[in-house]
Amino acid sequence: MNNKKKIFLSVLPATVAATIISMSTGSMAADSDPIKVGVMLPFSGVYAGLGESTRNGLKQAIKEQGNNIAGRPVEFIEMDTEAKPARAPEITSSLVDNQQADFVIGPVHSGVAMGMIKSIKGKDSIMIIPNAGANAATGAFCQPNVFRTSFSSWQTAFPMGKEAYDMGYKKIVTMSWNYGFGKESLEAFNESFTKAGGEVIKEMLVPFPKTEFQSYLTEIASINPDAVFVFFAGGGAVKFVKDYDAMGLKGKIPLLGSGFLTEGTTTAQGPAAEEVITTLHYADALDIPKNKHFRQDYETLYGKPADLFAVQGYDAGQLIAQAVTATQGNTSDKAALIEQMEQLEIDSPRGAFHFSKSHNPIQTIYLRKVVDGQNTVVKVAHENLEDPARGCRL
C-alpha cells in the first residue's frame, strides 16, 4: 500500500433543524458550524476489523443523538493509520492543525497512541483513546487533553492475581509475547498475585510475533505449576489455546489469562477454549439492560454482533455527546469542555464508569469463564478499579 493519506469525509446532517438560540458572543452555543471529529483508526491491514468495530460504535452513539449535538451537526474526518506508529505524527498534525478537529478519536495500536500523544500535546484538540492500552498513555505521558474510554494493560491483568490465589493456586508460570503490552500484563498479574501470597515460579517471554509454542508448553508440563497465566491476543491466542489443549495440558493445569486471550477468538479456538478463565472490563453476555439494548441496536445497524471494540468506540461517542451537551454546544473553550469531561459518568454497556485524575476509566473488571463458546461472567473481580497512573502529574 502506498503512503498517501486516506481521508474519508462524511458530514452527518441533523434529523431536525437546529434551533437558533440567542446567546452571548463568547458562548457559541447552537453554533451552526459542525463539530469536527477526527477518527484515526486502522481501516486496512491486520487491525482493520478492530478499526471498523470502533468506528461503528462511535457512529452509533452519535446517531442516537440524531447526528446532532446541542444544535450542531457532527462531521467525521476519517484517516487510516494502517496501525503504523510512524504515521501518527503526520496524521495527527493534519487533523489538529489543518482540519482543526475538536476531537480526535484513536487509535487501536499502542505504538500509534504514543506518537499521537506527543503530537497533540499543548494543542487545541481533545484526544479520546478508544482502545490502545499502554499504561503510559494515562501514566507518565498523561495530558490534560487526552482521555481514554478503554483500559490500561494493568487493569486487565491486575485483578486476576488475587483471583488466582483465592482459587487455590499458589505457584504459577506466566507467559507472553516479549513486547510492551504483554510484559505490562505479566507485571500487573505478578503485582497482585505475590501481594496475595503467591509465587511466580517461571516467566516465559516469547519473541513477537512467534506462534510456535510447543517447546514452552513442554517446559510448563515438566514444571507442573498450579496454573498458568498468559497474555496473547488474536491469532496468537487462537494458536496458544489450541496448542495448550493438544499438548494435553488442558484439564491438568488450569489456564488463566488477560481477557484478550478469549476475546473475539472463541469460535476459532473451538472446544479448546472451554473453561479458560480470564479477566476483562466487558463480556458479550453481560446481563445489564444497557448492554442488551446496545447489542440489539448494533446488530440492527450493522448486521453483525457487537464486540468489545464497538463498546469502547460507543463510549467515546457518548463522552463527546455528554460533554458538548453540558457546554451547550460550545467547543471553543477546551478548558471548560475538559472540565465537564472529567466530571461525567458514562452509562456504558460494560457498566457505568467515570474518569480518574489521569483520565483513564475507573471501571469494574469481571472474572469470566468460557462456557459453550461464550465468555460468561462468573463474578465481579474488582469493582471500580482505578489504574495507578504511575508517573502522571495531572
At 26 the pLDDT is 41
Residue 303 has a CB neighbour count (10 Å cut-off) of 7
* Sequence spans of domains, the chain: 2-151+287-359, 154-280+366-385
At 27 the pLDDT is 44
- How far apart CA 37 and CA 142 sit, in angstroms, is 21
At 31 the pLDDT is 60
The DSSP letter of residue 96 is I
At 14 the pLDDT is 39
Same fold yes or no, 2-151+287-359 and 154-280+366-385: yes
CATH fold of 154-280+366-385 reads Rossmann fold (3.40.50)
What's the N-to-C CA distance of the chain in angstroms?
40
- How far apart CA 260 and CA 232 sit, in angstroms, is 7
| CATH number of this structure's domain 2-151+287-359 | 3.40.50.2300
At 32 the pLDDT is 80
Question: Which residues lie below 8 Å from residue 25, measured CB to CB, with a gap of 6+?
Answer: none
The DSSP letter of residue 328 is T
Would you give per-residue pLDDT tens digits along the chain (394 residues)?
A: 444 444 444 444 433 333 333 334 344 444 689 999 999 999 998 889 999 999 999 999 999 999 999 999 999 999 999 999 999 999 999 999 999 999 999 999 999 999 999 999 999 999 999 999 999 999 999 999 999 999 999 999 999 999 999 999 999 999 999 999 999 999 999 999 999 999 999 999 999 989 999 999 999 999 999 999 999 998 999 999 999 999 999 999 999 999 999 999 999 999 999 999 999 999 999 999 999 999 999 999 999 999 999 999 999 999 999 999 999 999 999 999 999 999 999 999 999 999 999 999 999 999 999 999 999 999 999 999 999 999 999 9
At 46 the pLDDT is 82
Q: For residues 277, 281, 287 and 289, what is the CA-based torsion angle, rounded to 10 degrees?
A: -170
